[in-house]
Amino acid sequence: MGEGTIIVKELDSGFKYRVTEEPGGEHLMRCYACGTCTASCPVRAIEESFNPRKIIRMTILGMKDEVLNSDFVWLCSTCYACQERCPQDVVITELMNALKNIAVKEGIVHPGIASQAQEILKFGRVYEIDDFANKKREKLGLPSLKSDSKEVETIFKSTGIDKYIAKLEEEK
């Protein structure tokens, strides 16, 4: 059996239905594999392993573990180029978000995203506001800012994101 051969009994036939129930995944089954999305995708232009049509096919086939554990969905830059062009209105960008949401519910978070969340928890934004930034703001007549993460902490706790950050710390 060749590498990458699909084993039918290992497929999850219910996966596509779960995706169609997730906001953004509703039009998944409309895809007729024309490839317009892949041809439009700027991420695909620089990273050959990224292929929205393939991800959609894999999802419909029931390759749940491969889809949720791959870097594919996390590489999407949410540029909407594919979504604007899809002749079947698959709303691909939202579909990628639906797959990310399912991955997170299954406890799978890309380390890059978890690191960003870690920074946001620390500073209240993705980078620290330091004196240099505030001096620049002052010159522009803007009020100074401080790194404050109290509200973020509340949001992270209520959504459970704090657990993923803790998991990342453990894996370090």
68 makes contact with ligand SF4 (CB under 6 A):
no
Q: What CA–CA distance (Å, rounded) separates 56 from 171?
A: 31
Instruction: Look up residue 14 and give its two tokens.
Output: 């219910």
What SS3 class is residue 55?
helix
Q: What CA–CA distance (Å, rounded) separates 54 from 50?
A: 8
117 makes contact with ligand SF4 (CB under 6 A):
no
To which residue do tokens 């960003």 refer? 116
Q: By CB under 6 A, name the one of 2, 4, 7, 32 that touches ligand SF4.
A: 32
Q: By CB under 6 A, name the one of 22, 25, 36, 94 that touches ligand SF4.
A: 36
**DSSP H or E stretch at residue 101:** helix 92-105
Which of 67, 66, 87, 71 has the alpha carbon at shortest distance from 22?
A: 67
> How many residues belong to the site for ligand SF4 (CB under 6 A)?
28
Tell me if 90 sits within 8 A of 30, measured CB to CB: yes
Binding piece for ligand SF4, criterion CB under 6 A, among 12-20, 36-44, 101-109, 116-124: 36-44
Chain positions 69 to 108 lying near ligand SF4, rule: CB under 6 A, are 76-82, 86-88, 90, 92-93, 96
Between 35 and 112, whose beta carbon lies closer to ligand SF4?
A: 35
Residue 13 CB, nearest approach to ligand SF4 (Å): 20
Binding site for ligand SF4 (CB under 6 A): 31-37, 40-43, 52-53, 56, 76-82, 86-88, 90, 92-93, 96
